[in-house]
Structure formats: C-alpha cells, structure tokens
C-alpha cells in the first residue's frame, strides 16, 4: 500500500517570509511581490500556495 504525502500549503504571510529569506531581501521588499512571484518562489521549494 502506498502512502500519499500531502504537499504543505503556505499562507501569503508565510510566503512573504520565505521569499525574503530565499531571495535575501527585506520583508518590506518581499511584501511588494505579486502573487505569481511568491508562487514561483514556493514552486522552487516544492510548496503550494494557499492564497
């Protein structure tokens, strides 16, 4: 029997924190990112957006 693993879903606030750390920018700059830019960062880290 195969175990199904769920991909973790991330809120927008958490995605901004992750993007700030991933791109080495401040949280204020990361907060101005569009949804598609945040989703691209999450895609690289194999996470899903929940916004």
pLDDT digits (tens, 9 = 90+) for 8-29: 899 999 999 999 999 999 999 9
Residues paired with 49 in a beta bridge: 10
Higher pLDDT, 27 or 1: 27
The widest CA-to-CA distance across the chain, in whole angstroms, is 46
Please say if the pLDDT value at position 1 is more than 80.
Answer: no
Mean pLDDT of 17-44: 96
Please say if the pLDDT value at position 6 is more than 90.
Answer: no
| 25: CB partners within 8 A, 6+ apart | 19
Helix axes 35-44, 12-23, angle to 10 degrees: 70
In the chain, where the domains are located: 9-49
Average pLDDT over all residues of the chain: 93
**Residue 51's pLDDT band (boundaries 50, 70, 90)?**
confident
């Amino acid at each position: 029997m195969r175990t199904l693993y769920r991909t973790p879903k991330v809120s927008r606030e958490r995605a901004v924190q992750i993007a700030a750390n991933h791109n080495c920018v401040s949280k204020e700059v990361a907060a101005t990112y569009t949804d598609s830019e945040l989703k691209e960062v999450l895609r690289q880290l194999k996470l899903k957006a929940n916004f």
